[in-house]
Structure 1
Amino acid sequence: MYMIRKSPIGIAGFPVAPFNEQGNIDEKALIKNIQFLLDEGLESIFIACGSAEFQSLSKEEYEVMVELAISTVKGKVPVYTGVGGNIKTALELTKISEQKGADGYLILPPYLIEGEQEGLYNYLRTIIESTSLNAIVYQRDNCVLQLPTLQKLIELPQLVGLKDGVGNIDLNIELTQAIGDRLGWLNGMPMAEVTMPAYVPLGFNSYSSAISNYIPHISRMFYEALLKGDKELVSELYKNIILPINNIRKQRKGYAVSLIKAGMEIVGLPVGNTVRPPIVPVEKEHYQQLESILKETFKRYPKPNHKVLT
């Protein structure tokens, strides 16, 4: 099979894992949520990654999520999976991704250990070489690559992108200026809209939007305004929506996931505001704050045919 060696661009969708009352994956809800992202025009789907509580999924649940994503997307946009953790698990998940027909995978950090650059190189090389699928490295936590390491990795044709979740602008400048368009550059910072103005000039042309799970029209409005240089609209969206939501997100560890589910529940999407330990649900006070922000959002920036929050 001919593989297009190109990283996704635009706004990347990262569906959560909806759980039913028994604590299992709610397959119908997941399909509906993925379809929602497709209908809203998101340019790629990243399934079973951090926002989907990757660390708490069983192998069987992982397979189900990947299967449902690929069957729902039907080739309309690229589908990437999350792989990572200990090396044996990561290799097992790359094989599952390949067998199910994914376009590629996002390599999450290795489990626990702070590795030297040589160790990180060997970890990533082993995973990338294990299949013919496209690979994107997630730069964060205990997996931060320096330029010489990344320069060796780009010798592998499967490596198509780097997603940054660190926010080290000095390092980002060094990497992007040395490597250029050999890689696609994705902003993976928490609430990436907050930092995207600093990333666009460096060549980052994609980002993962947490709020796209429940207000994707705002994600699109923001990104288009940013690219067009509409500073007034960007500032307005920051003031009224993005920064207030980000302030809630920073109140508790794990809100990067649970706040997404709360937002989805508020706007009427089937998700169930349930998360698995060690993540905690959104507290009532914060839930109400988010609800208030979203109600005002739909008043200020109405969405055609919007039937929730009325």
Structure 2
Amino acid sequence: MNRKAPTGILGFPVTPFDNQGNVDELALVENIRFLLDSGLEAIFVACGAGEYHALDNNEYESIVEIAKSTVNGKVPLYTGVGGNVYDATSKAKISEKHGVDGYLIMPAYLINGEQEGIYQYLHTIATATDLNAIIYQRDSVVMNLDTLERLIETPQIVGFKDGHGSMEHLIEFTQTIGNKIGWLNGMPMAEMTMPGYVPLGFDSYSSAISNYIPHISRKFYDALLEGDQTTVHEIYQDVILPINRIRRQGKGYAISLIKAGMEIVGLPINSNNVRPPVTPVKREHYVQLEEILKKALDKYPSNLTKSL
């Protein structure tokens, strides 16, 4: 077992549904292949972007099987587990059964526990299998340094993903713990915050826009690491800031806006097919995104997406 968290740009595929509401397995295969062909460093299926909250165990296992055969060892493959501790450990064992590399532990449902409760929740799930585990700080799971230091004594825990955004806490965490674990940026539209995370030692992030314009994610991240502030600024102005302004206008757009972008660039997905409580992107926002992507692909062309 390679006890190391993935680095680089991490792909979080959505779960495509057909017009009958079932998982569209062929579309899922094609979408994962698109991310692999685009050079993303890892694949995380059935996580937040994959509507983890809306999948039953049979659908979940089918997605894991499909991802395993499609990725086929090319990059690390992780799944999402979480919610209540019993459902999380069940899905962790499904993931282990199919030989994935690890799983991302999503937040507990609704409850804000004390630090001891957070520790027990994460530790129980992490030790349910021998797979790698990445703990995800956000929403109801926000820990202090003592809790994190206790958790990283668990061999299975290889990474810490942050979706909380407290720089004071992150500085304390990273400067105390260093490279004992991997550091992943999991903030909404992570490109918005990555310039602040890189100096702290965060060397990977989950990119929503990589689902449909991964070459622009790559161009942005390379420019950021190389100190090319001109390119970073241009991509912010042309792509990241305009898309983020749309994302903030709708609850659930963290999922449905990705599906809209994928549909716009010609990937096999129906952007209207999401599961409640997520709703499709409003028509006016869809049109706005379409115009942004048209201009972006004219300026930053890719051989993996069609011309708009």
TM-score under structure 1 length normalisation: 0.98
In 1, distance between residues paired with 2:55 and 2:174?
Answer: 34
- Match for residue 246 of structure 2? 248
Structure 1: 5+ residue stretches without partners = none
Q: Pairwise mapping of residues 293-308 of structure 1 onto structure 2 (< 5 A)?
A: 293-304=292-303, 306-308=305-307
Letter of the structure 1 residue corresponding to residue 22 of structure 2: N
* CA apart distance, 1:304: 3.1
In 2, distance between residues paired with 1:269 and 1:283?
Answer: 19
SS at 2:285's partner residue? helix
Match of residue 190, structure 1, among 166, 188, 195: 188
Give me the identity figure in percent. Answer: 64
Q: Pairwise mapping of residues 60-99 of structure 1 onto structure 2 (< 5 A)?
A: 60-99=58-97
In the TM superposition, what whole-angstrom CA distance separates every residue of 1:223-263 from its partner, at most 9, and x where no partner exists? 00000000000000000110000000000110000000000
C-alpha RMSD over aligned residues: 0.7
- Match for residue 257 of structure 1? 255
Letter of the structure 2 residue corresponding to residue 65 of structure 1: I
1:145 aligns with 2:131: no
- Match for residue 56 of structure 1? 54
In 2, distance between residues paired with 1:307 and 1:275?
Answer: 24
* CA apart distance, 1:308: 3.7
* CA apart distance, 1:305: 6.0
In 1, distance between residues paired with 2:286 and 2:7?
Answer: 32
Q: Could you tell me whether the CA contact under 8 Å between 1:268 and 1:308 is conserved in 2? A: no
SS at 2:160's partner residue? strand
Letter of the structure 2 residue corresponding to residue 296 of structure 1: K
Letter of the structure 1 residue corresponding to residue 72 of structure 2: K
The aligned length equals 307
Structure 2: 5+ residue stretches without partners = none
In 2, distance between residues paired with 1:307 and 1:169?
Answer: 39
- Match for residue 24 of structure 1? 22
SS at 2:49's partner residue? helix
In the TM superposition, what whole-angstrom CA distance separates every residue of 1:273-304 from its partner, at most 9, and x where no partner exists? 11111111000000000000000011111113
SS at 1:132's partner residue? coil
In 2, distance between residues paired with 1:238 and 1:291?
Answer: 17
TM-score under structure 2 length normalisation: 0.99
- Match for residue 284 of structure 1? 283
In the TM superposition, what whole-angstrom CA distance separates every residue of 1:7-66 from its partner, at most 9, and x where no partner exists? 000000000000001000000000000000000000000000000111000111100111
